[in-house]
Structure 1
């Protein structure tokens, strides 16, 4: 059973449209034609729906423009390490329930769990999202390194311990981009033994994608709250081991989960994304 009503924070939707999409592809929508906000608005205009173009997917719904929208989660134990992971995501949309009698949920479609996380926020604000691979938006970057020789590398090259998702990497935060790239090159060239083994290195330029990941490093459910185009937005990460066991393959292997509209406890409309727990013996075909 999932534990419910864990507050994750708030988002806003001043455009009147809220979108839940795959973090890998938020900034790819205009490359395929119309911007994310136009596609989301079209879905919201008919009460909400699932939008899919190539690898890009989202669920988009109408939402109140004039108030914060509460986001909650229910959790279940991960089959990977037993830790809590999101099984239910609920968003209060701030609008009265206008669905069918009997409070039956309205099916909007389904979504896969993106290995790079999910993003929840105002559809118009997400048009300005800067994804992985976008140039740094502030001229800064973070450098991280890890591995069996990380301690030896730290003694020679420096860096601080950085807590990240329950473990530590070493590195530097908020460096000028040129300095970050030089450190990254030095770490890649550094050898820890006669066999030429060194450390794993990442140079992450500051983008919205990196900011939400960084904001999630110390959250127990890997939730990253950031601001995009003046709107509070939530990024939702999953442990890579948990993703591999429950969601790997994503839509290609049928790893998709239902998104519904349903009435909340106070008669308001709620969007719910339900991710069932791992069931041994129901693995996808390879």
Structure 2
């Protein structure tokens, strides 16, 4: 019996161009020869295709521009901790399956690795506004978190809320601080116990980039999926558990850890984009 699908949310593609890409590299497309939107338009003109320039990778396909596009997933147990992890990612494109194409024959567009920094699904033109790991805060705010051997002492001195993070109580800290205040607070904590010296507290200062906010939006989702708005369009970010990534996807393309992306017909005669990550087999050799 096929594994059941779980709804992850919806995205829109008002440009008619949908992208599934590596979140850690979306903001690097402007540095390549052609922008993401232009590459996506060329791929969509031939029914969809794989985009790659250096470490930047994505798949772009045509999609309905006038409606929300549902995103779903099946799961399989993670080889790291046996928690559910995404096995099949599927996006309804809002377009009919071509009348002259065999509905039983998926169309292979290429393959993608699981980016350690996560994946993103959204409108190709909207994603041209994506701010990545090293980008500026989109709203002038930032988060500060701290943890480590002397975290309790730091909390007694500096305060901060306990932050709920992926189903457990995470680090202490403060959310949504003005960036100057957050920077000063992080510096004060770092100076107090020597930062990452091993005997103090580790401190993270996270400006509100799109990449960070997408991850933060997934803190309370069992599959680490978060919805934010980028370039005026709702997009979904998907973060992978780092333990699961290390066991299952480590090495990414360089080690042959890539997974097929296809166009397929759904039972209603529509077209879906599907990314299939096969079950992990212990001891299986990597390419």
- Structure 2 length-normalised TM: 0.95
Instruction: Tell whether 2:119 aligns with 1:127.
Output: no
Q: Please give the alpha-carbon distance, in whole angstroms, between the structure 2 residues aligned to 1:153 and 1:198.
A: 9
Q: Which residue pairs with 2:221 in the alignment?
A: 219
Is the Cα–Cα contact under 8 Å of residues 2 and 87 in structure 1 kept in the other structure? no
**Alignment CA distance shift 1:239-1:2 (3 Å):** farther
SS at match of 2:129: coil
RMSD: 1.5
SS of residue in 2 equivalent to 1:104? coil
Change (3 A) 1:229 1:196: closer
1:34 deviates by 1.4
In structure 2, what is the equivalent of residue 244 of structure 1? 246
Q: Deviations over 1:106-135 (max 9, x none)?
A: 000000000010000000100111111111
Alpha-carbon shift at residue 163 of structure 1 (Å): 0.8
Deviation per CA, 1:54-73, whole angstroms, max 9, x where unpaired?
00000000000111111100
Aligned equivalent of 1:73: 73
Give structure 1 regions of 4+ aligned residues with deviation exceeding 4 angstroms.
none
- Could you tell me how far apart the structure 2 residues matched to 1:104 and 1:72 are? 21
C-alpha deviation, 1:162, in angstroms: 0.5
Shift of 1:101: 2.1
Contact 2:103–2:265 under 8 Å retained in 1: no
**Number of the residue aligned with 2:257:** 255
- TM-score w.r.t. the length of structure 1 is 0.95
Q: Which runs of 5+ in 1 are unaligned?
A: none
Question: What is aligned with 2:109?
Answer: 108
Q: Residues 5 and 60 of structure 1: is their aligned pair in 2 closer, same or farther, counting only changes over 3 Å?
A: same
Aligned to 2:276: 274
Which residue of 2 is the match for residue 159 of structure 1?
160
Name 2:43's counterpart in structure 1. 43
Equivalent residues in 2 for 1:191-210, closer than 5 Å: 191=193, 197-210=199-212
C-alpha displacement at 1:273, in angstroms? 0.1
Structure 2 gaps of 5+ residues are none
Deviations 1:130-161 (A, max 9, x none): 11111112211100111232122111111110
Q: Is the 8 A contact 1:160 1:170 kept in 2?
A: yes
1:47 Cα offset (Å): 0.2
